[in-house]
Amino acid sequence: MPDFPVRLWPAAWLLLLALSAVGAQDTPGALVITRLQYGGGGDWYADPSSLPNLIAFTGQATGITIAAVEARAKIGDDTFQESTYLYLTGHGNVQFSAEEVGQLRAHLMAGAFLHADDNYGMDRSFRREMKKVFPDKEWVELPPDHQIFNLVFPFPAGLPKIHEHDNQRPQGLGLFHEGRLMVFYTFECDLGDGWEDPQVHDLPPELRQAALRMGANIIAYALSR
């Protein structure tokens, strides 16, 4: 198990977030969240209202400056190369070309962060493709006391359960390089459904709030690594 950093006091992590965001695209000092477009036929564009809502909530709740509009990129293009925070979701097949496998590996090992959120149905293909990207690494389940579950909002039980899926327990899984979390995979959870406009999935307000708070934690953690 990799060593996990101690929890930062709020003032310390806010300062760290501000410093980490410098140089991002769009608004000077703003973090840009980039949605990955992948091959294979899966709906990489799923939950269109999710990221705008998460961005607005996170900005209000944490003070982190985030570009209001998500970027979209294919692995290897200019926008991808400039992106430090990547987001991947969908229901169907995920497929990377051999060239994309190498480019994604290099980008993540150089410091970029990927949050992948299973929107139900992409699990098998996503794990298959990530094994191509990092054949020597195994998924590690992050414990509830990990910083990602506690940095801004506390989740003493770990990842919240937002959608039933296969009624398995939700898992926050990570791929690490030299102790640094490169990829965070939210499985059997479906945070994206909770970020969507309220009328889309008709979720109870407390579940939407939990999803948004967990999303804010992920963003804050990615910047504090």
Would you give the DSSP letter of residue 9? P
Does residue 112 sit within a domain? yes
What is the CATH classification number for the domain harbouring 194? 3.40.50.12140
pLDDT of residue 151: 96
pLDDT of residue 225: 85
Res 6 pLDDT > 50: no
Share of the chain above pLDDT 70, in %: 88
Domain that holds residue 83: 10-224
Element (H, E) at 198: helix 198-201
- Count of H-run helices and E-run strands, the chain: 8, 7
- Per the structure, the count of domains in the chain is 1
Does residue 38 sit within a domain? yes
pLDDT digits (tens, 9 = 90+) for 88-141: 999 999 999 999 999 999 999 999 999 999 998 999 999 999 999 999 999 999
Burial of 18 (0-12, 13-18, 19+ CB in 10 A): middle
pLDDT of residue 163: 79
Mean pLDDT of 5-31: 49
3-state secondary structure of 160: coil
Instruction: Say if CB 194 and CB 162 are below 8 A apart.
Output: yes
Does residue 149 sit within a domain? yes
Does residue 104 sit within a domain? yes
Res 203 pLDDT > 70: yes
Strands (E), 91-130: 113-118
Does residue 4 sit within a domain? no
Element (H, E) at 74: strand 71-74
Does residue 2 sit within a domain? no
Res 74 pLDDT > 80: yes
Does residue 116 sit within a domain? yes
Does residue 54 sit within a domain? yes
53-67 burial: b if 16+ Cβ within 10 Å, else e:
bbbebbbebbebbbb
